């Protein structure tokens, strides 16, 4: 007999797709894998083969959640995605539904990562900042992702004017583009991200800490989570940014200092949160 309690969560990054299964009846996750993805439509092929595999195991899928790096319309159309330009203008939800028969829940990838943190932090507020191919951030409060007017509350990637570099979004000096220039990332033979140069490492740590300090003061979260491939793979930058950020706080703010953590499921947090949103285990407002 089919057990209709499996939700599939996908997180499409700049170079890889993370995939998890969430079994709602047991409230448990299975990390299916991390797959190199060239063009975004390979994600749909990957999803197809995973659904076939689940059907072979007599596991019915009740929902699909997808995190994508970009700005989405309420209908699930990708409006803007510097790292996945091939998705722009595509009604991804319609495409997935026509192939799978399931209308998916599609969210910005940072918001999905914030949804995953809801499981751990309950009614506390948590700000998530992810550093990988791009920079993304989002917030959750009381176990609910904060949507904002355009489902992008707390997003800092395309703010500021920190350099003269032109960002993929068209602006000059965005935080994301400035960090990308300071900390150039490469993709190795396994499509894993790594730093290709640390020549501006100190400046990058300083800038990240300074920008996060300001965001923490504006949004006042109980917890700050530093996620994404860069933070998951390089303990040093997580430690250095954390120390620098706390040092940046003024003396009167230190006693109520924000607590800084790594992501709940490292690079699988986005996929985990996407599945939780699909299962309505985590909501939004």
For the CB of residue 257, give the shortest distance to Zn ion in the complex, in Å: 30
Nearer to Zn ion, 32 or 135 (CB): 135
Nearer to Zn ion, 54 or 169 (CB): 169
Piece in contact with Zn ion (CB under 5 A), picked from 69-77, 153-161, 202-210, 271-279: 153-161
Piece in contact with Zn ion (CB under 5 A), picked from 26-34, 70-78, 157-165, 266-274: 157-165
**Is 279 in contact with 63 (CB distance < 8 Å)?**
yes
Piece in contact with Zn ion (CB under 5 A), picked from 31-39, 156-164, 212-220, 223-231: 156-164
H or E element in which residue 233 lies:
helix 228-233
Total of residues contacting Zn ion (CB under 5 A): 5
Token pair 């309420």 is found at 74
Instruction: Give yes or no for residue 169 binding Zn ion (CB under 5 A).
Output: yes
Nearer to Zn ion, 87 or 167 (CB): 167
**Chosen residue from 158, 180, 213, 261 binding Zn ion by CB under 5 A:** 158
H or E element in which residue 242 lies:
helix 235-248
Residue 248 phi/psi, 5-degree rounding, is -75, -25
For the CB of residue 158, give the shortest distance to Zn ion in the complex, in Å: 3
**Chosen residue from 139, 167, 231, 263 binding Zn ion by CB under 5 A:** 167
Beta-carbon contacts of 273 under 8 Å, excluding residues fewer than 6 positions away, are 9, 65, 67, 107, 111, 112, 113, 114, 115, 116, 117, 118, 282
**Is 9 in contact with 276 (CB distance < 8 Å)?**
yes
Task: Give the dihedral sign, CA 182/40/267/242.
Answer: positive
Instruction: Give yes or no for residue 174 binding Zn ion (CB under 5 A).
Output: yes
**Residue numbers at the binding site for Zn ion (CB under 5 A):** 158, 167, 169, 171, 174
């Amino acid at each position: 007999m089919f057990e209709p309690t499996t939700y599939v969560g996908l997180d499409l990054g700049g170079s890889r797709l993370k995939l998890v299964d969430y079994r709602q009846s047991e409230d448990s996750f299975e990390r299916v894998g991390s797959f190199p993805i060239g063009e975004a439509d390979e994600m749909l092929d990957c999803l197809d083969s995973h659904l076939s595999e689940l059907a072979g195991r007599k596991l019915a899928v009740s929902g699909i959640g997808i995190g994508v790096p970009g700005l989405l319309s309420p209908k699930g159309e990708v409006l803007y995605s510097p790292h996945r330009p091939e998705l722009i203008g595509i009604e991804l939800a319609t495409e997935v539904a026509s192939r799978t028969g399931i209308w998916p829940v599609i969210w910005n990838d940072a918001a999905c990562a914030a949804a995953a943190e809801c499981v751990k932090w309950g009614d506390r507020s948590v700000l998530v900042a992810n550093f990988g191919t791009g920079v993304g951030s989002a917030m959750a409060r009381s176990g609910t992702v904060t949507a904002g007017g355009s489902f992008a509350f707390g997003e800092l990637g395309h703010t500021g004017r920190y350099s003269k570099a032109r960002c993929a979004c068209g602006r000059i000096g965005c935080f994301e583009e400035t960090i990308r220039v300071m900390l150039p990332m490469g993709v190795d033979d396994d499509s894993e991200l790594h730093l290709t140069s640390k020549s501006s490492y100190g400046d990058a740590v300083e800038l990240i800490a300074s920008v996060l300090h300001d965001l923490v003061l504006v949004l006042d979260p109980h917890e700050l989570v530093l996620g994404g491939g860069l933070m998951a793979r390089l303990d040093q930058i997580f430690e250095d940014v954390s120390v620098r950020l706390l040092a940046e706080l003024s003396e009167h703010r230190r006693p109520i200092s924000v607590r800084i953590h790594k992501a709940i499921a490292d690079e699988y947090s986005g996929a985990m949160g996407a599945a939780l949103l699909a299962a309505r285990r985590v909501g939004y407002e």
